[in-house]
Chain A
């Protein structure tokens, strides 16, 4: 920078001089011209001498520095005795050294960097249904067929009285510079199962991330969340009926791509075995053809504009397609495909007060399911089809620091058209539910929640209305991970 500036200045001076010289020669005699020439010569000589001197000095200085560095390396100066030739250390450098002493050195777990957490979730539940809410929900008209092939394995649907939702054990770590991994193991009185066991890349280029293992699918919005992150104590009906209370979690691979757009745009696609008893399942019957996994493919997209510091908005689209089989009785079964299309949105208002006071969240999801099966065995030659949908909308408001109130409206079966060998072509009614909840997060690690709901259900045994109440007490201990959007 400085040299360029000097050069420019010399150049300007030179031009000015020669210009002056020209003028001079035009006006006056040779003597003055000669004098100017001499002056220029003298100047030139001075500059050359200066330049030479400068180069020499620089070289000497460099040599001196080198010698000093070598000397310092050979015999390090004891602290507190500043060398006469070297400037004393700057404030920053000296404090840097003392700060290094203050910073606590790696404490135990830091070396391992394995994050562990345990979630305990106790709730008291009561409803006024005739035969229990689990039974009622498994018999919702149009949706109730799936439990015929399940061996009475219902996922801890709430029972009246005290319920201990599975103990959730979470482990996560950055494995090496290339991969991270996490597992979530749900342990209950009947045993343990993986909710998730995910291996994930961290260093792929072009905004790509590849995940493998048992993954909670990226479709929809709620699907990724574990039950302890839900805003209500239970999942919406549409999730429960189309994917099960724990959502779609499958073995397979997931590839996501964060597009290089100025706004947030994420694409994802997944290949799964297809073992979801609600929508993508293979039955065990002689009459059914065998299909090798993978049998389920998904694609999803999420995007959101940047709306400044107080607002956030995100939209999502999801599509799923996979094999599905059902077994009614041993020889009555069907084989075909299920496709599901979904859309979701979430809007968040950040009031910029502490602990969620004044914050507002509005969120909703819609799913449409089309099952197109052909009868096999005793049903051979007849179709088994179902076109159904469902949605929920919920709003949450932080009316005090750490206190939130929420309302959720839930509906399934607005479209509920079935064509089955048993009942022929039938359009069933819808089921809906309204839930109100109040929660209090005493700290990042504990939560108390009360929820009350009224449901209007269309069941195989006719219409039934029911009240539900739940009181939830949830604690997390160990490391509490940061929350996703």
Chain B
């Protein structure tokens, strides 16, 4: 009889443990998708933003506070992207476990490759400058890979009972991402890690030539390879990680300064720059107005490409990898 009771108790505990999924709340949909890929069934993941809004400006709604209150783990992009709303949510949620600096508060930017980290003193005269660097890093697939590893590493430390599963899921995600980036032929022959190392050290072409695989490049890299060196115009400096990774030049913006709306004077000089550099694509997110882009397009003959930079931003961008896929496809089609 006693044994029966113990068994019941054990069964109850086990079923309880299985039912209690890790509640992960992320600030953006891309982080949610990566967290879902890594944590699999063990977690219930939701994002504060939907992928359709400007992540710089958001209202800290009461519903967000309730979700942060119940979160076991909080993941943010960091580098001050969410500075206008994350502090209010975290303060009002009263969840001490996910406060900044706590183990359950994961800053996904901890181990990414950063661009545009100011080396000099910044003033607001320069517009919305982020003192820790440009926070739009998830548009570099390598950073997506590093974010996944960062999340997996922390989740393994927090939930060692799921360690094997998290690591297995991480490797599956990495393999998917590697294949999309370089194509299956290269990944199978040379290994994803080696390819990423080579591209991070800017010696991928040499590496491929050395291995006799130069003509085997597929995936996003293969798609963008013929366009290396071309210039594109973007609305905000939110695409620098993409242009940097795929060898495009992305230093022309519709905004005169980050976060400052396009002015007539700036657009006039932009038109002559764009003509001189044979710009064929003007790239921007759906939440910006099209007026400035159309103004420049009409005078230079460039195509306006509107594409979301966040998962969920359009019907095609159903996952982080599909979002990147969509960007590469739409941009390369017009280059």
Give me the interface of A with B, judged by CB distance under 8 Å.
1, 90-92, 94-96, 98-100, 102-104, 107, 180, 202-204, 207-209, 258, 260-264, 302-307, 309, 312, 314, 348, 350, 352-357, 401-402, 443-445, 477, 481-485
Contact = CB atoms under 8 A, between A and B. Distances in A.
Contact of B61 (A92, A98, A443, A485): A485
A142 B127 CA distance: 51
Contacts of B65: 258, 264
B94 interface: yes
Given A264-B66, A443-B259, A99 B59 contact: no
A263 B60 CA distance: 15
27 contacts: A1-B164, A91-B145, A92-B145, A92-B146, A94-B197, A95-B146, A99-B110, A100-B111, A102-B117, A202-B96, A203-B96, A209-B94, A258-B65, A258-B69, A258-B92, A306-B62, A309-B52, A314-B62, A352-B287, A354-B288, A355-B57, A355-B261, A357-B289, A443-B127, A444-B84, A483-B84, A483-B88
Contact of A354 (B50, B57, B118): B57
A86 B60 CA distance: 48
Given A102-B117, A443-B260, A95 B200 contact: yes
Interface in B127-145: 127-128, 131-133, 145
A91 B197 contact: yes
Interface residues of B, number: 54
The 6 A-B residue pairs whose C-beta atoms are closest, nearest first, are A264-B62, A306-B63, A92-B149, A304-B62, A312-B61, A354-B54
Contact of B54 (A260, A305, A355): A355
B109 to A, nearest CB: 8
A231 to B, nearest CB: 13
B74 to A, nearest CB: 15
A202 B93 CA distance: 10
A305 to B, nearest CB: 8
B294 to A, nearest CB: 15
B117 A482 contact: no
Contacts of A180: 91
B131 A104 contact: yes
Given A91-B197, A264-B66, A482-B60, A99 B111 contact: yes
B66 A352 contact: no
Given A258-B69, A348-B59, 11 more contacts: A91-B197, A104-B117, A104-B133, A107-B131, A202-B96, A263-B66, A312-B61, A443-B259, A482-B84, A483-B59, A483-B60
A485 B60 contact: yes
Contact of A91 (B69, B87, B128, B196): B196
Interface of B: 50, 52-54, 57, 59-63, 65-66, 69, 83-88, 91-94, 96, 99, 110-114, 117-118, 124, 127-128, 131-133, 145-146, 149-150, 153, 164, 193, 196-197, 200, 259-261, 287-289
Contacts of A202: 96, 99
A359 B179 CA distance: 41
A357 B57 CA distance: 11
Instruction: Give the interface centre of A95, A180, A356, A402 by most chain B CB atoms within 10 Å.
Output: A95
Nearest to B83: A482
Contacts of A207: 69, 94
Contacts of B260: 443
A312 B63 contact: yes
A307 B64 CA distance: 11
Contact of B66 (A98, A262, A307, A357): A262
B87 A481 contact: yes
A1 B165 CA distance: 10
B187 to A, nearest CB: 13
B287 A354 contact: yes
Instruction: Give the interface centre of B59, B146, B196 by most chain A CB atoms within 10 Å.
Output: B59
Nearest to A1: B164
B53 A350 contact: yes
Contacts of B149: 92
Contacts of B57: 354-356
B59 A350 contact: yes
Contacts of B110: 99
Contacts of A1: 164
Given A262-B66, A401-B261, A352 B52 contact: yes
B66 A306 contact: yes
Contacts of B146: 92, 95-96, 99
Given A99-B112, A103-B132, A402-B261, A264 B50 contact: no
Given A264-B65, A352-B52, A352-B287, A485 B94 contact: no
Contacts of B117: 102-104
A401 B63 contact: no
A482 B87 CA distance: 7
B53 A99 contact: no
A307 B200 CA distance: 44
Contacts of B88: 482-485
A103 B115 CA distance: 10
A482 B132 contact: no
Contacts of B118: 104
Nearest to A308: B63
Contacts of A355: 54, 57, 261
B60 to A, nearest CB: 5
A332 B92 CA distance: 47
Given A481-B87, A482-B85, A264 B111 contact: no
